[in-house]
Each structure stands twice: as structure tokens, then as C-alpha cells.
Amino acid sequence: MKIGYFDCFSGLSGDMILGALLDAELSLELLNAELAKLPIKGYRISASPARRGIITGTQVKITVEGAQEQRNLKDILDFIEKSTLSDKTKERSILIFNRLAEAEAKVHRLPVDKVHFHEVGAIDAIIDVVGAVIGLELLGIEALFSSPLPTGSGTAQTEQGIIPIPAPATLELIASSGAPLRPTPYADSELVTPTGAAIVTTMASFESPNFFLESIGYGVGMHDVPSIPNVLPLWIGQMAEEQPGARDVSGGQRKLLLLETNIDDMSPELLGYVMERLFERGALDVWFTPIQMKKNRPAVMLSVLAPPEVESEIVETILSETSTLGVRAQWMARHQSEREIIQFDSSLGQVTMKVKRLRGQRVSLSPEFEDCRRLAQEHGLPLQEVYRIVNAEASARLLER
């Protein structure tokens, strides 16, 4: 799987994200062709080499003709909905702007539909957001990750007046996503913009994956920060494949999405198929909970735990395979132990074993059901006897190491 990793050691903004994508060999011609599907005119994107400190990358500038208008969320979503962009691009772009609107609404104590975007509603910000989504797709990046975000410090001048850094909307986006922060006392300037924060906190997981690095792109910021090169590196590569016989899953905390919906008008026999399809699309866990709905009707609540990079696929599956009209989404933090997947040669045959570890020590073993069922059928043994034999042999050979 091809992944991208933003190393946010300095700044993070929408134009820097576009610069990093273009520096990583995204075609500006293809990007412009996709952006032309938006019903927006009067802008031009330029990309040129630029240097910050000893690092050279690509700097993107979006030039807009005429005065910029103030827009609300509906205006922006209309632009996206009326475009001929792919459904996936629309979904992800809309999700980013919805999160921006929610952050602004909370900061200003207003309903979401009353929020008027200023800087983030301008054409260049729309191009930044939609362009970032398009760029990641054109480069074939299937999952996005990020380092902790730098805070910056000081104040900034906006159309609405002077605000502290990080900007209130930026902080709200970071807080609502659970993204980690990294204090930067050396930089008396804004390092993370609301647009940059919205894109990354919506689309990226904040963890360090194991992967094979293939290429690097550097997006250059507009300002030259004296204390550090103001560039955004984008590392691109392939997720480390499972090694024959073993795979490690690191412990710790991971940001996941909980997607839920209530269903009271579907045949139960169809729900099993829905579960299978959700696992195929990348769900980590799927379960059903009996509930009572209005008029005391019995129903089930479908719950799906999934990584954020497969959100659109999961939502599409739920909406197409069930009778529901909507899906609820909320961010969850999951604490997990370290796990190791190994191939164990038992006296009955090879079995896949899940090994749980705490602080590096193996503490429990669990054989895969399908392998045990296969061995039970091959040897004409009760399934529970196969479990007993495999567990006893694996415990003797593995846990004592």
C-alpha cells in the first residue's frame, strides 16, 4: 500500500501541502485539469523552485483576480457538489470544510450555518483543500500519516483583527481530532494555518508507520522563518509488507473512527452480508447492538470501527448495502497492546497464531479459528481438541522463549 507521511518539523499550510505534492512529481497540468471541474474561475496556480535554509523545494502561489468574497459553508459545499469531480474527492473535500465550519462555529459561538468564512472561504483556500485531496489521489496515496504539529507562538493579523497563535480555529481542529502538539518556542510566528490543520487532521493518522521510503517532496512556505527552514516534507513510500511468518503491530494509542447507524427495516439475514463487506473494505471491527427505536420498534445499531483513511469506503458500503439514510461519525482513541502474527508448525499442521505482548514480553497466544477448523476436518478431531493441542504446543515452545 502506498502511503504518505508529513514530517511537520516546521510549518503546515494549504499551499505548502500543494507544494509538497507537486515537488513529489504531481503533475501541475493534471492538477489544473481536475480543479477545472470546480465551477470557479479567475485564479491561477504557479509552482516554482524556492529555497529555505539549505533545503530547496516547490513553492505554490495562487493568484486570484478581483476582490475575494465572504462565503458560508453552504456556498462552498455548493461549489463542490455542482462540480464534476469524483465522488471520493467530493466526500473528502466536504468533510474537511464541514470540520472547518464546526471549528469556526465553536470559536465564535454560532450555529454552523451562520458561520461566514473569511480567509478560509477565499478561492485560494478552496483550491488548497480540494487540490490537496485531488493531489493525494493522483499520486496514488492510499493512506496518510503525520508527525505531531508545531504550535508556533505570538500573534497574527487577520481580517477580523489580531488573534493569538495558534489561531483559535486551528486549536479547535487539533483538539477535536486528538492530534498531538509539539511546542516550538523558537518560532515567533504562525506555523500551522487553519486550512493546513483541517486537511491533515481530517485525512491523516498521527502515528509513525513502518514503510519503505521511495521519494520525498518539499513544500516551501511563503515566510522565511529565521530559526528553521520553513518547508513541509512529504515522505512517500510503500507500507512494510508482512514478513513471512511474522508481523508486528505496535502498541499505544491510535486515532480511529466510530461509524454508527440505526436500522429497523432490514431482514436480519442481510446484515451478515453487510458485515462481510465492511471487513473487506477495511473495517477493524463490526458489531450489532439490539435497540428500541421510536414507537418501541425493535431495531439494531450497526457500529463500525475503522481507520480514517477508509472512511469514504465504509460510509459508501453502509449507505449502499443497508436501508439507512445517514451515518454518524465520531473520533475515538483506541489503546492497544503490541501484537505479533506468526506461523506456528504444530504436530497437526501449520497454524496462524496471534501473540499478545506487553512491554515486549509475550503474555498470551490465540490460534486462528479457520486454521483450527481446517485441521479438525483433516484429522477427524473435535475442534476443541485441536484448540487444546495447538495451544499447549505453542505455549510450551513460544511463551517459554
So what's the architecture of 252-335 in CATH?
Answer: 2-Layer Sandwich (3.30)
What stretch of H or E contains 167?
A: none
Tell me, what amino acid is at 127?
I
Given this model, what pLDDT does residue 269 score? 83
Walk along the chain (401 residues) and give the pLDDT tens digit of each residue. Answer: 889 999 999 889 999 999 999 999 999 999 999 999 999 888 999 999 999 989 999 999 999 887 767 778 888 899 899 999 998 899 899 999 988 888 888 887 877 777 766 555 478 889 999 999 999 999 999 889 999 998 877 776 666 668 777 788 899 999 888 888 888 766 667 889 999 999 999 999 888 888 889 999 999 998 888 778 999 999 999 887 533 333 344 445 567 889 999 998 888 889 999 999 999 888 999 999 999 988 788 999 999 999 887 888 899 899 999 998 888 988 887 777 777 788 889 999 999 988 887 776 667 888 999 999 999 999 999 999 999 999 998 888 775 55
pLDDT digits (tens, 9 = 90+) for 178-222: 888 888 766 667 889 999 999 999 999 888 888 889 999 999 998
Nearest Cα residue to 126 out of 103, 88, 93: 93
What residues contact residue 14 under an 8 Å CB cut-off, 6+ apart?
124, 125, 128, 129, 131, 132, 193, 195, 196, 199
What pLDDT is attached to residue 311?
87
> What pLDDT is attached to residue 118?
54
Residue 89, phi then psi, degrees to nearest 5: -65, -45
The three-class DSSP label of residue 303 is strand
- Please tell me the distance from the alpha carbon of residue 326 to that of residue 364, in angstroms, as a whole number: 40
Instruction: State residue 116's pLDDT score.
Output: 67
Q: How far apart are CA 36 and CA 4, in angstroms?
A: 25
**Which pLDDT value is given to residue 100?**
87
151 contacts: CB under 8 Å, gap ≥ 6: 165, 166, 181, 182, 183, 184, 191, 192
User: What whole-number distance in Å separates Cα of residue 363 and Cα of residue 381?
Assistant: 28
Domain 338-399 architecture: Roll (3.10)
Nearest to 346 by CA among 383, 381, 380, 397: 397
Q: Are the beta carbons of 256 and 225 closer than 8 angstroms? A: no
Give the residue from 129, 187, 188, 138 showing the smallest Cα distance to 24. 138
CB 229 within 8 A of CB 319: no
pLDDT score recorded for residue 247: 37
Q: What is the pLDDT of residues 309-346, one digit of tens each?
A: 788 889 989 999 999 888 898 888 777 777 778 888 99
Does pTM top 0.85 for this prediction?
Answer: no
Query: What's the CA gap between 392 and 386, in Å, rounded?
Result: 10
- Residue ranges of the domains in the chain? 2-239, 252-335, 338-399
Q: What is the pLDDT of residue 246?
A: 35
Q: How far apart are CA 229 and CA 235, in angstroms?
A: 17
Tell me what pLDDT residue 325 has: 86
H-assigned helices in 14-86? 14-23, 28-35, 73-81
60: left (phi over 0), alpha (psi -120 to 50) or beta: beta
Q: What cell numbers appear for 116 in the block?
A: 461566514
Residue with cell 451515518: 327
Rg (CA), the chain: 24
